[in-house]
Structure 1
Amino acid sequence: MNSRQQTILQMVIEKGRVSVAELAKTTGVSEVTIRQDLNTLEKQSYLRRTHGFAVPLESDDVETRMMSNFTLKRELAQFAASLVNPGETVFIENGSSNALLARTLAELKDITIITVSGYIAHLLKDTACEVILLGGIYQKKSESMVGPLTRQYVQQVHFSKAFIGIDGWQPETGFTGRDMMRADVVNAVLEKGCEAIVLTDSSKFGALHSYTLGPINQFSRVITDEKLHPLLQAQLEQAGLIVNIVKTASPQ
């Protein structure tokens, strides 16, 4: 990988979606050269091409996903943290935005965090907050606990708020996930009737995946960014959800 291709890859990881024209302007080469670079990077499994754009590969690795739109996800996490009161017990599901939320809460609040994410538990190992890591089958790539044991553990603990990551949403299907076992854990959390909050960037809205999270009336709130289309925001609100749009301090 040459230095220009490294620049391209870093831009794609940081922004999440970058046009061929923008990459050409930033690197000072032609769009033809950029397309050749993108073909090379795609063949080497560094990124994925769509029509006129480059996007990061979908990955279950939390740290890889965290690097995509990091600044935006950090601001979403900071807003979500503002909803949690000192002394509260909250459930935080797997995912990159949720990992940033857990770290923010551990730095700012005297709280208890319940999670199924081994990554989040490790991230908080040197913090003062109490961490309860629920057991189960360990998914090595996502570093998450899943399966019937995890469902049983969820039923045995109590929390006032749950922060959930999603992979997709459409008005016809509601929230969806791309992993059956992780979707089952989310549904076990929703069955407890707590305040369930979706924490995600706007890129997930309009996507569709195989496994239902919900029904939608089991969710209370969505926290996302200002790129959410107004029509989608209206549809979420019509479904009874509070929608918090976090305005970013710098352009994404």
Structure 2
Amino acid sequence: MNPRQQTILQMVIDNGRVSVAELARTTGVSEVTIRQDLNLLERQSYLRRAHGYAVPVDSDDVEARMMNNFPLKRRLAMAAASLVQDGETVFIENGSSNALLARELAENKRVTIITVSSYIAHLLKETDCEVILIGGIYQKKSESMVGPLTRQFIGQVHFSKAFIGIDGWLPGTGFTGRDMMRSDVVSAVLDKGSEAIVLTDSSKFGVMHPYTLGPMEKFSRVITDDGLDPDIQHALERHALQIDKVPRVTPA
């Protein structure tokens, strides 16, 4: 890694999300050169590229994550939306695929959306959808509400389905998250006993993070893509989970 690439990586780590144009201005080279540097750093797993930006590997920036593999996440969102009927009230947790789901529902169905994500609430401000934004401690990077107040508010609302994002899953740990406070919010949602649906791409399976989201028996369905390992699918099905898969590549 040369000194310019070290500067790029440090800027991304410090800021969480940096545009190609800003990196070019700071380092004094062309945007073409910056993109070449970012390609190298991404191949070496130091950062990720996302629609004109560079973000850390574990970035919480929802918009940056949404633009990463957008077509697949769009198909996941459409598959999830097909499970929701007009008139339902649903809970949608934080995350890029969940944000796309919220927009799909708001634009095409008469529903009420409860969420802890201020990003999702803002995304739906021009729609006719009824949005209930749960309060709490504001996590700035993830644009999500967390903490004891959030848990208390969740106990006061009711919904028929909950769409949950995950960071990892292994047979011995179940579904896990990398943020303790956001994982606690998911636990509070699961305690409501509504239909809990995991919405995630297949890359999250086979990965472990520190915080358990809840007992496997509290989840009812997984919506993912056809890159899911068959052994993992069988393990999930042994927990009575229904598995819905969408194609990773758009059908011709």
Q: TM-score range by the shorter chain?
A: 0.7 to 0.9
Alignment of 1:153-192 (within 5 A): 153-192=153-192
8 Å Cα contact 2:137-2:146 kept in structure 1: yes
Rounded to whole Å, the distance in 1 between the matches of 2:47 and 2:93 is: 27
Deviations 1:38-92, CA, capped at 9 Å, x for gaps: 159979x6439xxxxxx97221010011111110000000000000000000000
Rounded to whole Å, the distance in 1 between the matches of 2:122 and 2:170 is: 33
Offset at 1:240? 1.1
Rounded to whole Å, the distance in 1 between the matches of 2:206 and 2:152 is: 32
Distance 1:4 1:149, change over 3 A: same
- Match status 1:141 vs 2:170: no
Rounded to whole Å, the distance in 1 between the matches of 2:225 and 2:43 is: 29
8 Å Cα contact 2:134-2:150 kept in structure 1: yes
Rounded to whole Å, the distance in 1 between the matches of 2:44 and 2:223 is: 32
Report the counterpart of residue 203 of structure 1 in structure 2: 203
In the comparison of the two structures, how many residue pairs are matched? 217
- Match status 1:232 vs 2:245: no
Alignment of 1:72-111 (within 5 A): 72-111=72-111
Distance 1:41 1:229, change over 3 A: closer
Offset at 1:250? 2.4
8 Å Cα contact 2:227-2:248 kept in structure 1: no
8 Å Cα contact 1:164-1:196 kept in structure 2: yes
Report the counterpart of residue 32 of structure 2 in structure 1: 3
8 Å Cα contact 1:56-1:68 kept in structure 2: no
Rounded to whole Å, the distance in 2 between the matches of 1:201 and 1:41 is: 20
Deviations 1:150-177, CA, capped at 9 Å, x for gaps: 0000000000000000000001110000
Runs of 4+ aligned structure 1 residues displaced above 4 Å come to 39-43
User: In the alignment, which of 22, 35, 38 is matched to residue 40 of structure 2?
Assistant: 38
Amino acid in the other structure paired with 2:40:
L
Distance 1:223 1:233, change over 3 A: same
Rounded to whole Å, the distance in 1 between the matches of 2:205 and 2:108 is: 30
8 Å Cα contact 1:63-1:96 kept in structure 2: yes
Identical amino acids, percent of aligned pairs? 69
Rounded to whole Å, the distance in 1 between the matches of 2:188 and 2:227 is: 30
8 Å Cα contact 1:90-1:113 kept in structure 2: yes
Q: What is the TM-score normalised by the length of structure 1?
A: 0.81
Rounded to whole Å, the distance in 2 between the matches of 1:244 and 1:155 is: 29
Rounded to whole Å, the distance in 2 between the matches of 1:231 and 1:82 is: 27
Rounded to whole Å, the distance in 2 between the matches of 1:68 and 1:111 is: 27
Rounded to whole Å, the distance in 1 between the matches of 2:180 and 2:65 is: 19
Amino acid in the other structure paired with 1:3:
V
Alignment of 1:52-67 (within 5 A): 57-67=57-67
* 3-state SS of 1:239 partner: coil
Report the counterpart of residue 123 of structure 2 in structure 1: 123
Offset at 1:140? 0.3
Rounded to whole Å, the distance in 2 between the matches of 1:169 and 1:180 is: 16
Q: What is the TM-score normalised by the length of structure 2?
A: 0.81
Quote the RMSD (CA, aligned, Å).
2.2
Rounded to whole Å, the distance in 1 between the matches of 2:168 and 2:84 is: 25
